[in-house]
Structure 1
Amino acid sequence: MQYVLARMRLMPWSWHHTGMLGAHDLPPLNLQALPPEAAAWIARWQHAERQLALRDQALVDRDRELLQARDLLQRKDRDIAWRDAKIEKITFELARLKRWKFGASSEAMDADQRRLFEETIAEDEASLRAQLEQLRLQAAADDAGKAKPKEAPRQPRRQALPEHLRRVEHRHEPDSTDCQEPGCGRPMTRIGEDMSERLDIVPAEFFVHRHIYGKWACRCCQVLRQASSIPELIEGGMAASGLIAHTLISRCVDHLPYYRQEAINARSGVHTPRSTLAAWAGQAGAALEPLYEVHKAFILACRVLHADETPVKLLDPGAGKTRRAYVWAYARSWHDAVPGVIYEFCLGRGAQYPKTFLAGNAQQGRGRWSGTLLTDRYGGYDSVLDPRIHPDRISAACVAHARRKFDELARDGTSPIGDEAIRRYARIYAVEAELKDMNDDERQAQRQRLAKPLWDNLKQWLELERRLVADGGAAAGAIDYTLGHWSTLTRYLDDGAVAIDNNHLERQIKPWAMGRRAWLFAGSELAGQRTAMVMSLVQSARLNGHDPWAYLRDVLARLPTQLNSRIEELLPHRWQPSAVC
């Protein structure tokens, strides 16, 4: 010890006055040359310092793990709160459906309203119960660390499937019929089979899938082997994916109410009550909702969007009459290489609906949208595109809407301005037709070279004519509309990805106009949302060249086994038919 103290007295002055010294601060020592007591004391000192360093590192690691655990708990708390809120909402909707179903206020409906109302109630109830069951299974899995074992489905009481229908047999046998028990390996004996039947349809023909599951047993080991059952969208039901798809297509695309589908199916000797058809549609709608959300994110990934809205009637059970609701539609640009359209059923036409849609959803991984929005200049879009609030959003107007105002003048024959304006717009559209197959950069360059001079001449002519027409007339209104929205009408000249008009989206809204004439009104807000989901996927499949029924049938067949991480494979623009499709 005296030797060590002597060495410390010989150290530089700064080592004495800079605080506590560590082992790394001492000059190298030859421990073998020191007295045994001093060497042992230094070794203990160095060991203690190493232990302190290890303890400090352990504390740092523990703090990091605690932070990670706290973040994980916060995320789980948010997920649980969101799930509980959704369960509460679904439970409330179910209770409200029950009140509507048995309430005396429904007596105010006429026969047609009552029929659609009963169908909608059955459809909504099936959809809500399917969503509620899925949320409860997720909650049970989170609490227990594993999924709740599924109860054996009750055998439904239903009529036997007609014997005259064609049967298509699908035989399922184990991969190996040799006993897999250790030390055995003997061939197993087939002792029987289980059989299930599901009703399916191809256009104009019902047929039955007969699934036969062979039973194999090893008499030596007393072991039974059988192929696993094929997962179905509606477990324990008689409907195969093709029949469910046919029901949805008939309802949402062909606009056939369930009572008409029931009568059509009855002509083939198949009994499908409209309450059963509605329940199938409700469960299918619940299963399609995750795919719809992913499709929404795909639509919002495009920097140029078309937007429009159309009114539909919504049944108000409490009042016994209908009210006005709206379907908002959004489509990727007409010039985008991958088309797609999405619909959203809303209770009104206010600006809050496009604001919410374009704001994104952090819970679902959708960010806030930015880009160019092509609209018909309805005032509800003004706050959505306000440059003071959304500097990253650009407004573009539909040229076809401006042209139609002059077309009305030409048809009425009240002003020669209408004919001349139509001729000038025709030359602008002729230029645009020649640029259809170009890429965005080439299209923009040619628009600047060919179309911009035509627009400059049109503006000069309109300003001159405006001085000659009286205020308040139809001609003045048509001219003021074009000049008042000049910058947004000509926005497409500066961006080759922007279309000249909104006609592309207006064509995608036509199915809703046809539906209004067929089913007259939506039975409930949930039914409108469900129809919007199905029509979004089906109409996008059409835009991508797919048969709607083939697409929906394959998607419904694959959804029960499709991983959430690979659900994008079922989007209309990425869908590839499966081997059995």
Structure 2
Amino acid sequence: MQELHDLNDEDLRGLAPETVAALAHQMLQRLRRQDGEIKFKDAKIEKITFQLARLKAWKFGAKTEAMNAEQKRLFEETLAEDEANLQAQLEQARGQASTPPATDGDNNKRKPRRQPLPDHLRRVEHHHEPDDTNCPSPGCGKPMKRVGEDVSERLDIVPAEFFVHRHIYGKWACRCCQCLVQEAAPPQIIDGGMPATGLVVHTMISRFVDHVPYYRQEAINARSGVHTPRSTLASWSGRGGAALEPLFVAQKRFVLSTRVLHADETPVAMLDPGAGKTKRAYVWAYARGAFDAVPGVVYDFCLGRGSQYPIAFLGADDDPNGRRGWSGTLVRDEYKAYEHVMAAEPGRVAAGCLAHARRKFDELLRDNGKSAVATEALQRIARIYRIERELATLTNKERLARRTAVAQPLWEELHKWLRLERARVHDGSATAKALNYSLNAWKALTRNLLDGEVNVDNNHCENLIRPWALGRKAWLFAGSELAGQRAAIVMSLVQSAKINGHDPHAYLNDVLTRLPTHLNSRIDELLPHNWQRRLKAA
């Protein structure tokens, strides 16, 4: 049967009334169906548009300050996934080609901008040319001339590829002298073993930088048909960690050569096989000053949080071996154990952490949202931090001069206000405790006003100890004290490599390749900060 819209007036006159009625009924049903499809599509578009609007309201109106760092990161990642998904659905509903999500006005600032792809990446070129390069215009057909090109780049990845190094050692013999000559095998981190240095490094980086447990590495390697039991992977890391011990000793010596040192600690669970459960151990972090031109960090895995552990690490005046202990300015929080650490060496000076003092008022405000004292304290501390951000790029001498001129009056006003408010509140109250923290630590908190090399807080060290907090969520616990100490060795070097601007895999691979033949008297050449200078010199 013909379609009604295909017929003209003459065709309609020649049709029977019953046929015209059937065609009209058919067209009416089609129009109703199309109308229903349009309404359904409009409803779907309206629903998706509403979801996108609500998503943006969540994105830009959410109280992210109420989230911890991990929750905030997960929240942002989920929003990005949801927004891209809804945008794709909206484009499909509208019949549009896939395009990046549109942004409006100031929201552009919140979107990460696409960065140029790094030059060092391998490029695989795909050339796209017309099948026919003759002019398509009617009556022409002449050969066309290439006048330019457009280039677009897309980032791709090939999963980790296992390959085998075949070392073939030729044997050379003298028939006269019955002498056999063969090149000696170069020393390796694991002599006579299956893994090359690159595989050992990959295993260690996966474990200590990417925090991938050995059982997951075993499963990942199995996808490539390579059988690497977790016990074998752990053994490789153990051998690699042992090879790095001399370098760790040199790194510790370098970090403790600074005049301003940051210290902090964080708990790590350690397996206690005898008790059939885990017990709490600690990782202590020691970092060179926040304004130090050459950064560095070193970790110490300890069974407890007592003062004996940092005292042993830093050394003491009465050391039985006659070693001179570290002396200088120690930036730390007000944990009581540090009092004994400071007293262990006469030349040590305490510097406080303004971030910890601020945190007391922030906690007070969260517990009691109407605390005028907490609100005022946070505002006063914020003024000091605004000045400190402006001073970050100055020299130590310039920074001290600016602090004296601009920041010191704010500190003096803050001290006067703290004492006045403390006199107004009852002992034992939450407000009194927050005020007491700053007042009792005032001398250490204001140490930065006497030394331009000292930072106002200990956030520098807290940031460097954060990888341990991330790692313990992945591998849950250290298997033993020795395993914890080995992790501290590796983490000290790879984290120092990162803050010196190195790729930790490239650094560790080069170091472990060279260590078997490297002179111990020149071990400092392989430290992260010197490795950078060596590359520059080359």
TM-score normalised to the size of structure 1?
A: 0.62
The answer to whether residue 384 in structure 2 is matched with residue 384 in structure 1 is: no
Output one character per residue of 1:73-95: Cα deviation in whole Å (capped at 9) or x when no partner. xxxxxxxxxxxxxxxxxxxxxxx
For 2:514, give the aligned amino acid.
R
For 1:380, give the aligned amino acid.
A
The answer to whether residue 193 in structure 2 is matched with residue 237 in structure 1 is: yes
For 2:245, give the aligned amino acid.
E
Distance in structure 2 (CA, Å) of the matches to 1:562 and 1:328: 30
Distance in structure 1 (CA, Å) of the matches to 2:394 and 2:418: 31
State the shift of 1:226 in Å.
3.2
2:486 aligns with 530
1:448 aligns with 404
Structure with greater strand percent: 1
The answer to whether residue 340 in structure 2 is matched with residue 400 in structure 1 is: no
2:226 aligns with 270
Check 1:363–1:275 CA distance in 2 against 1; reply closer, same or farther (3 A cut). farther
The answer to whether residue 504 in structure 2 is matched with residue 553 in structure 1 is: no
State the shift of 1:216 in Å.
3.6
The answer to whether residue 341 in structure 2 is matched with residue 367 in structure 1 is: no
1:5-84 equivalences in 2 (<5 Å):
none
**Match 2:381 to one of 391, 403, 425:** 425
Distance in structure 2 (CA, Å) of the matches to 1:251 and 1:366: 35
Check 1:515–1:358 CA distance in 2 against 1; reply closer, same or farther (3 A cut). same
2:447 aligns with 491
Distance in structure 1 (CA, Å) of the matches to 2:320 and 2:458: 31
Distance in structure 1 (CA, Å) of the matches to 2:165 and 2:316: 43
Output one character per residue of 1:331-388: Cα deviation in whole Å (capped at 9) or x when no partner. 00000011011110100111100111111799999631000001111001101112xx
Distance in structure 2 (CA, Å) of the matches to 1:295 and 1:274: 29
2:213 aligns with 257
SS of corresponding position for 2:165 = strand
Distance in structure 2 (CA, Å) of the matches to 1:236 and 1:434: 56
Distance in structure 1 (CA, Å) of the matches to 2:464 and 2:316: 23
For 2:503, give the aligned amino acid.
D
2:309 aligns with 353
Distance in structure 2 (CA, Å) of the matches to 1:458 and 1:546: 41
State the shift of 1:206 in Å.
1.4
Check 1:366–1:270 CA distance in 2 against 1; reply closer, same or farther (3 A cut). farther
SS of corresponding position for 1:531 = helix
For 1:204, give the aligned amino acid.
A
1:282 aligns with 238
State the shift of 1:471 in Å.
2.2
Check 1:298–1:366 CA distance in 2 against 1; reply closer, same or farther (3 A cut). farther
Distance in structure 2 (CA, Å) of the matches to 1:222 and 1:578: 46
State the shift of 1:414 in Å.
3.3
State the shift of 1:203 in Å.
6.9
For 2:361, give the aligned amino acid.
F
Output one character per residue of 1:482-527: Cα deviation in whole Å (capped at 9) or x when no partner. 1111100000110111111000110111111111111111110000
Q: Does the aligned pair in 2 maintain the 1:241–1:554 contact within 8 Å?
A: no
Distance in structure 1 (CA, Å) of the matches to 2:348 and 2:162: 51
Distance in structure 2 (CA, Å) of the matches to 1:301 and 1:530: 23
CA-based RMSD of the aligned residues comes to: 2.2
For 1:403, give the aligned amino acid.
R
1:324 aligns with 280
Check 1:360–1:480 CA distance in 2 against 1; reply closer, same or farther (3 A cut). closer
For 2:164, give the aligned amino acid.
V
For 2:353, give the aligned amino acid.
C
Output one character per residue of 1:195-248: Cα deviation in whole Å (capped at 9) or x when no partner. xxxxxxx97221222222333444555544333322111000111111111111
Check 1:465–1:360 CA distance in 2 against 1; reply closer, same or farther (3 A cut). closer
For 2:402, give the aligned amino acid.
Q
Distance in structure 1 (CA, Å) of the matches to 2:195 and 2:299: 27
For 1:543, give the aligned amino acid.
I
1:212 aligns with 168
Q: Does the aligned pair in 2 maintain the 1:440–1:497 contact within 8 Å?
A: yes
State the shift of 1:469 in Å.
2.1
Distance in structure 1 (CA, Å) of the matches to 2:159 and 2:518: 26
2:463 aligns with 507
For 1:337, give the aligned amino acid.
A
The answer to whether residue 398 in structure 2 is matched with residue 478 in structure 1 is: no
1:35 aligns with none
SS of corresponding position for 1:328 = strand
**Match 2:290 to one of 321, 334, 337:** 334
Distance in structure 1 (CA, Å) of the matches to 2:321 and 2:234: 28
Output one character per residue of 1:15-59: Cα deviation in whole Å (capped at 9) or x when no partner. xxxxxxxxxxxxxxxxxxxxxxxxxxxxxxxxxxxxxxxxxxxxx
SS of corresponding position for 1:491 = helix
SS of corresponding position for 1:413 = coil
SS of corresponding position for 2:493 = helix
State the shift of 1:571 in Å.
0.7
Distance in structure 2 (CA, Å) of the matches to 1:477 and 1:203: 55
State the shift of 1:420 in Å.
1.3
State the shift of 1:406 in Å.
1.3
Distance in structure 1 (CA, Å) of the matches to 2:496 and 2:180: 47
Output one character per residue of 1:146-196: Cα deviation in whole Å (capped at 9) or x when no partner. xxxxxxxxxxxxxxxxxxxxxxxxxxxxxxxxxxxxxxxxxxxxxxxxxxx
2:530 aligns with 574
Check 1:549–1:454 CA distance in 2 against 1; reply closer, same or farther (3 A cut). same
TM-score normalised to the size of structure 2?
A: 0.67
Q: Does the aligned pair in 2 maintain the 1:360–1:369 contact within 8 Å?
A: yes
For 1:382, give the aligned amino acid.
E
Check 1:203–1:239 CA distance in 2 against 1; reply closer, same or farther (3 A cut). farther
Q: Does the aligned pair in 1 maintain the 2:269–2:279 contact within 8 Å?
A: yes
Output one character per residue of 1:395-417: Cα deviation in whole Å (capped at 9) or x when no partner. 01111000111122333313111
State the shift of 1:529 in Å.
0.4
Q: Does the aligned pair in 2 maintain the 1:462–1:479 contact within 8 Å?
A: yes
Distance in structure 2 (CA, Å) of the matches to 1:222 and 1:364: 56
State the shift of 1:259 in Å.
1.3
State the shift of 1:561 in Å.
0.4
Distance in structure 1 (CA, Å) of the matches to 2:315 and 2:345: 11
The answer to whether residue 490 in structure 2 is matched with residue 543 in structure 1 is: no
Distance in structure 2 (CA, Å) of the matches to 1:520 and 1:366: 37
**Match 1:521 to one of 477, 481, 489:** 477
1:147 aligns with none
Structure 2: gaps (5+ residues): 1-157
Q: Does the aligned pair in 1 maintain the 2:351–2:445 contact within 8 Å?
A: yes
For 1:392, give the aligned amino acid.
G
Check 1:264–1:489 CA distance in 2 against 1; reply closer, same or farther (3 A cut). same
